[in-house]
């Protein structure tokens, strides 16, 4: 979620300071951090007197604040395109992420905690993800990106989680779908993502 926000900042070439939070020491559950996000999750964005949490809200704010800077991630000059960006950003939040997140958890977090990945959890979510990816394959057979023939927040929202998914045996689910595979190769090769991908190994503080 932190890298989702960072990718957006890099897309806009905005200078920012990354402040590490030691989640393994539960720093995000302590009063100083809870004063920034009462739910105790990262990331938090501080911009002057504004404090925001929820990574998708942060990316939407950055995209709006710097909307005149290319790329236009929210399509602010075209109401129909902007609406489609919102639709597919919601799809990521409500359909894609809920299926992908448990798979990532079982393959990365469970072993980190000394547990075996739960095959039943993985299987259940693989089925959910298959349904979602079939929709994506159909959509991406008619447009280059999810909201149209332009890169937007809708695509950007997927990058961090898909990066981890592609390091699991479930990577084949993406690779078996030609349009989804081409889309992933496109959005994961952008310079903004390449600036953060080096720090995306599990077990780091941010």
63-76 tens-digit pLDDT = 999 999 999 999 99
Model pTM score = 0.94
Q: What's the CATH architecture for 1-66?
A: 3-Layer(aba) Sandwich (3.40)
Provide the pLDDT confidence category of residue 97 given band limits of 50, 70 and 90: very high
Q: Cβ atoms within 10 A of the Cβ of 104, count? A: 21
What pairs with residue 46 in β-bridges? Answer: 51
Q: Mean per-residue pLDDT for 175-204?
A: 91
Which residue shows structure tokens 């149209």?
148
Residue 134 has pLDDT above 90, yes or no: yes
Which tokens in the block code for residue 6? 């960072």
Fold of 79-197: Glutathione S-transferase Yfyf (Class Pi); Chain A, domain 2 (1.20.1050)
Contact (CB, 8 A) for 162 and 174: yes
Question: Can you give the residue ranges of every domain in the chain?
Answer: 1-66, 79-197
From the number of C-beta atoms within 10 Å of its C-beta (0-12, 13-18, 19+), residue 98 rates as middle
């Amino acid at each position: 979620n932190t890298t989702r926000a960072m990718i957006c900042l890099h897309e806009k070439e905005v200078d920012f300071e990354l402040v590490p939070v030691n989640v393994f020491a539960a720093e995000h559950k302590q009063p100083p951090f809870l004063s920034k996000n009462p739910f105790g999750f990262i990331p938090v964005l501080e911009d002057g007197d504004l404090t925001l949490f929820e990574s998708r809200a942060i990316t939407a704010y950055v995209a709006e604040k710097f909307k005149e800077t290319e790329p236009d991630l929210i399509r602010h000059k075209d109401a129909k395109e902007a609406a489609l960006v919102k639709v597919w950003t919601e799809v990521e939040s409500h359909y894609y992420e809920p299926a992908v997140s448990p798979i990532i958890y079982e393959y990365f977090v469970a072993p980190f905690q000394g547990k075996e990945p739960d095959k039943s959890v993985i299987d259940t979510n693989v089925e959910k993800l298959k349904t979602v990816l079939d929709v994506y394959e159909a959509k991406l057979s008619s447009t280059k990106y999810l909201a149209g023939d332009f890169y937007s927040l809708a695509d950007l929202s997927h990058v961090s989680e898909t990066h981890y998914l592609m390091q699991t045996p479930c990577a084949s689910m993406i690779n078996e779908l030609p349009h989804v595979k081409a889309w992933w190769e496109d959005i994961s090769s952008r310079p903004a993502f390449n600036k953060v991908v080096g720090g995306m190994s599990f077990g780091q503080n941010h």
